[in-house]
Structure 1
Amino acid sequence: MNTTVVGAYPKISDEHQELRRALHKADRGELDDASLAVAFDEATEWAIGELADVGIDVINDGQIRWDDLLAPFAKAWRNCERGPLERFYDNNTYFRQPIIKGPIETDGQTLVRDFTFADGKLRGRAQLKAAVCGPLTFATLTAEDHHYKDLETRTLAIADALAKELAGLGAAGAKIVDVEEPALAAHPELIDLERAALARLAKGGVTVALYPYFFPIDKIIEKLDVPPVGILGVDARSRETSPKAIERLGAWKGTVSLGVIDARNTRIETPRETGELVDAALKQLRDERRLILSTTTGLEYLPHDVATKKLNALVDAARAAKGVPA
């Protein structure tokens, strides 16, 4: 049974402080952009090395360069920019809301260089996947829109831009692209708009792993079984009601990335706790090949030492599911 992670990895640890020092120097004008880019590359290599070495099967690049989930796209897309700070859902973290000044345009290369860099450094130690912000999340968190007339038009335009990003990543070798879509979990009433946006993403030609995290999605799981979604991220751990989603998995035809490790809680899951969730999911899916074990969201919300313990718990859960001693 394979394992994967979602979202951003902690950017620093007690031993690994180089990126923090580089950022401080850049803020003081003591480090140029080229040198800062090297620091980001080195931190990315460190992060993917940790993820691969602990035994995670499918990893991302740690999103070390990302200021927040929306930042890479708000920075790179034409007629977009980053605006005011806002709290990111119910987390103690903040992001900059996008401002849209005209029609969104992209060449689809926003993340290609970073993906290629990480893939080259991995050298086959794990499979590398890519990730993008979900269209509904970008659209609903936009602070100002001076071009599109309403949420639907904006969301679909963003989906078209993301389809180009997916195509670019696919051409660079990405087989799976995570679409991180917390807005759908926060606003399940927008499921029809999400489905329309997903149809636009199908033009990207890659397998989409859809992750609507932070809030329960049990009531909309069946409606997400649409192309190009081949993998659905399901949080089975972070809330008391989370396991209810497992009961709905019988209607899902694709692969499930089951969040058995709570990435926003410092408590380390026991083998018994993860095992019960895996057993319950397998009763619904009836095929262990359709089950991947994952974190519930990005490990960036945890201190690095706790994050590494969570990764070990995730790998142990997968080994236990295979009948291999931890």
Structure 2
Amino acid sequence: MTELVATTPGLYPLPDWAKDELSALKGHQKGDLIGGDEGPEIVDAYRRARTDVVDAQVETGLDRIVEGQLRWDDMLAHPLTIHDNVETGGIVRYYDNNNFYRDPQVRGELTPSGDVADELAAVEADAEDLQAVLPGPYSLADLATDEHYGDEADFLDAVADYLAGEVEGFPAHETLFLLEPSLVEAPPDEDADDHVSETIDRVAAATDADVVVHTYWGAVPEKTYAHLMDADVDAIGFDFVTDADASLYNINEYGTKDGIAMGLVDGQNTLVESPETIRDRVEWVDERTHTDFERAYLTSNTELFYLPVNRFEEKLAALGDAAALAEVDA
């Protein structure tokens, strides 16, 4: 029987009180806070906000607890925008989500900063419940501008080595989600597919945890997906909200891992799915694939940052209850 694990890709909305408090502390607008520049009051506000979102995950019964990435003003680009050798350029739009972020311009060598590790270490959760979240190497390189390495392949290698160094500093954790929406939105050229798979391997090898490469904003093109299957990871994530048919095609045509992350909850729509609806969607996927999965991560298709806080919390509860229903049915 497939083990169902309720979790999320992280990147949560700030609690409403934290938005107000941070705005008052530093005239905070999105993108204004840079890692290392926060004063003690801002650090404390983020600490209390982290406690809120961790508590929300525990109370709603999620099986994996993420830090929440509340400081990630620039979303997936955050690990670079706080780096000493990266300058933040003008405002750009990532993908097609109507949110705007700063352009990280890499001007020097990328060395691990320990910033994400410090955030993860601050989570009050047992190691067997803890889930780390990072952008995957391909997406992070895609969202950045290289002004130092001068070669696309060398830059991707540098980003992968940087992320692997960050992971090596992480406290013990059960799962690592690598978020790779650029595999869908800006897939690599055919001659680069193997290299992308190798860089994902490099990051995955830096942890003993189960590694999930979560893709979204649609389905990965089939040739890119076939190469992604070469990566030594435990599960691949699929966006069954945006393009279920193409996701099923990839699974049935090229196979998948023994684990799967099912993006079944809409991370951008305020309509809250019921636990029964989520379970129906799990069964829908199961009935249409040829794989007996050892573990299925039930998750939202995208980050949850885009939602109002009350809807975000309701979606956490729906995911937790959907996984709990499996135990009752068993």
SS of corresponding position for 2:262: strand
- Give the deviation of 1:314 after TM superposition: 1.8
- Residue 117 of structure 1: aligned partner: 122
Distance 1:20 1:201 in 2: 37
- Deviation string, structure 1 residues 54-75 (Cα, Å, up to 9, x no partner): 0111121111121122454224
Q: Is 1:11 aligned to 2:14, yes or no?
A: yes
Q: Is 1:282 aligned to 2:286, yes or no?
A: yes
Q: Is the 8 A contact 1:79 1:104 kept in 2?
A: yes
Distance 1:307 1:315 in 2: 13
Q: Is the 8 A contact 1:130 1:176 kept in 2?
A: yes
- Deviation string, structure 1 residues 128-161 (Cα, Å, up to 9, x no partner): 1111122222222224x22122322211110011
Q: Is 1:91 aligned to 2:92, yes or no?
A: no
- Give the deviation of 1:303 after TM superposition: 0.7
SS of corresponding position for 1:179: strand
Q: 1:292 to 1:268 in 2, by over 3 A?
A: same
Q: Is 1:318 aligned to 2:319, yes or no?
A: no
- Give the deviation of 1:271 after TM superposition: 5.0
- Deviation string, structure 1 residues 66-123 (Cα, Å, up to 9, x no partner): 112245422443421222111121112111111111222225x2212211111xx235
Distance 2:22 2:96 in 1: 30
- Give the deviation of 1:36 after TM superposition: 0.8
After superposing the two structures, state which structure 1 stretch, 86-95 or 279-288, moved more: 279-288
**1:115-194 superposed matches below 5 A:** 115-118=120-123, 121-122=124-125, 127-143=129-145, 145-169=146-170, 172-190=171-189, 191-194=193-196
Q: 1:64 to 1:110 in 2, by over 3 A?
A: same
Alignment size in residue pairs: 311
Q: Greater relative contact order: 1 or 2 (C-alpha under 8 angstroms, separation 6 or more)?
A: 2
**1:1-326 superposed matches below 5 A:** 1-13=4-16, 17-27=17-27, 33-107=39-113, 109-118=114-123, 121-122=124-125, 127-143=129-145, 145-169=146-170, 172-190=171-189, 191-206=193-208, 207-217=210-220, 219=222, 220-237=224-241, 239=242, 241-250=243-252, 251-270=255-274, 273-283=277-287, 284=289, 286-287=291-292, 289-324=294-329
- The one-letter code of the counterpart of 1:176 is T
Q: 1:34 to 1:71 in 2, by over 3 A?
A: farther
After superposing the two structures, state which structure 1 stretch, 265-274 or 254-263, moved more: 265-274
- Give the deviation of 1:247 after TM superposition: 4.1
Distance 2:48 2:278 in 1: 33
Q: 1:273 to 1:208 in 2, by over 3 A?
A: same
- Give the deviation of 1:38 after TM superposition: 0.7
SS of corresponding position for 2:236: strand
Q: 1:305 to 1:64 in 2, by over 3 A?
A: same
SS of corresponding position for 2:98: coil
- The one-letter code of the counterpart of 2:180 is E
Q: Is the 8 A contact 2:141 2:155 kept in 1?
A: yes
- Give the deviation of 1:194 after TM superposition: 1.8
Distance 2:115 2:87 in 1: 14
- The one-letter code of the counterpart of 2:133 is A
% same residue: 26
Computed over aligned residues only, the root mean square deviation of the Cα atoms, in angstroms, reads 2.5
Distance 1:21 1:248 in 2: 46
Distance 1:129 1:142 in 2: 25
Q: Is the 8 A contact 1:6 1:294 kept in 2?
A: yes
Q: 1:311 to 1:243 in 2, by over 3 A?
A: farther
Distance 1:90 1:257 in 2: 22
Please give the TM-score of this superposition, normalised by the length of structure 1. 0.86
SS of corresponding position for 1:81: strand
Q: Is the 8 A contact 2:265 2:300 kept in 1?
A: yes
Q: Is the 8 A contact 2:213 2:237 kept in 1?
A: yes
Q: Is the 8 A contact 2:259 2:293 kept in 1?
A: no
**Can you give the 5+ residue segments of structure 1 that lack an aligned partner in the other structure?**
none
- Give the deviation of 1:311 after TM superposition: 1.9
Q: Is the 8 A contact 2:58 2:65 kept in 1?
A: yes
Q: Is the 8 A contact 2:22 2:42 kept in 1?
A: yes
Distance 1:225 1:174 in 2: 24
